[in-house]
Amino acid sequence: MSPAGAPGRLDVRIREKSFRSAAGGRLHVLGDLSFTIGSGEVAALVGPSGCGKTTLLRIIVGLDRDFEGSVELSAHGRLGIVFQEPRLLPWRSVEENVRLAAPGADDAALEALFGTLGLMEHRRHYPGELSLGLARRVALARAFAVDPELLVLDEPFVSLDAALAARLRTELAELVTRRPMTTLLVTHDVAEAIGLADRVFVLSASPARVLANVPIPNPRSPQSADQIAAINADIARRITAARMSA
């Protein structure tokens, strides 16, 4: 296993990303879009649905290389990802799924990870025997187990019931607090972004660009309704300012 180095720093500079539409024209998905996530920082990307968040993620993790611009990740570029769907191997047990992605992870670290995520008694189960909530946890465990320099989460709590989503958010917050990890969380839920991130990037409608870059005071700590309202107001103000100057 490569040494568990410092978390990486992510620099995204996209000039343009477009798809060829079926009719032959070009479909602009991403405009001039740049942002930086500092080492060990948790950043959330929020934006209206269909604004190109998933396309942006696919570019960042290297699944889509057809774009103009650059994506740079310092260090080795080891990635951990949680897709919208768990994407587990149905023919391998929970533990095998995690170990195959992270062949170098040591037993104690995995043990701790399974413990935190409540997966202890499910290690030998197959994904088909798990609820969606549990499968999501396995996907989280797999992403953390590789000890990534960049952790990417694509709406990881979508379509879970509110209580379960809240519990998983707490577990995620606990994991990134215990071991700082450069993280990019994509969500359409502003409250989720405020609750988890150090910094929130607000994207415009397609073609997406960054409308606002909002640092969150006292990240991942309980916030009063007033504080949350203040952050929301800050976000709204920055969006208006960005629209005025554009």
Partner 1 sequence: MNAVARLASIALLLAVWFAGAHLAGARLLPGPQAVGLAIIQEARSGALAFNLGVTLLRVAAAFAIAMALGTVLGLAMGRLPLADRLGDPWLVVLLNLPALVIIVLAYVWAGLTETAAIAAVALNKLPIATVTVREGARALDRSLDEMATVFRLSRWVRLRHVVLPQLAPYLAAATRAGLSLVWKIVLIVELLGRPNGVGFEIGVAFQLFDVTRILAYALAFVAVMLAIETFLVQPFERHVSRWRPRTA
Q: How far apart are CA 17 and CA 67, in angstroms?
A: 5
What are the backbone dihedrals phi and psi of residue 192, each rounded to the nearest 5 degrees, phi first? -65, -45
DSSP string for 172-237:
HHHHHHHS---EEEEES-HHHHHHH-SEEEEE-SSSB-EEEEEEPSSTTS---HHHHHHHHHHHHH
Q: Note whether 44 binds partner 1 by CB under 8 A.
A: no
Binding string to partner 1 for residues 149 to 178, with x set by CB under 8 A, is what?
A: ---x--------------------------
Which residue in the set 126, 160, 213, 232 belongs to the binding site for partner 1 (CB under 8 A)? 126
Q: Which of 122, 142, 199, 209 binds partner 1 (CB under 8 A)?
A: 142
Instruction: Single out the segment in contact with partner 1 by CB under 8 A; choices: 3-11, 27-35, 98-106, 173-181.
Output: 98-106
The answer to whether residue 137 forms part of the interface with partner 1 (CB under 8 A) is no
Are the C-beta atoms of residues 51 and 192 closer than 8 Å to each other?
A: no
Q: Per CB under 8 A, does 91 bind partner 1?
A: yes
The CA distance from 214 to 212, in Å, is: 6
Cβ nearer to partner 1, comparing 148 with 195: 148
Please tell me the distance from the alpha carbon of residue 194 to that of residue 207, in angstroms, as a whole number.
24
Contact call for residue 100 and partner 1 (CB under 8 A): yes
Tokens read off for 25:
């024209």
Could you list the residues that contact partner 1 (CB under 8 A)?
61-63, 78-81, 83, 85, 87, 89-92, 96, 100-101, 103, 126, 128-129, 142, 146, 152
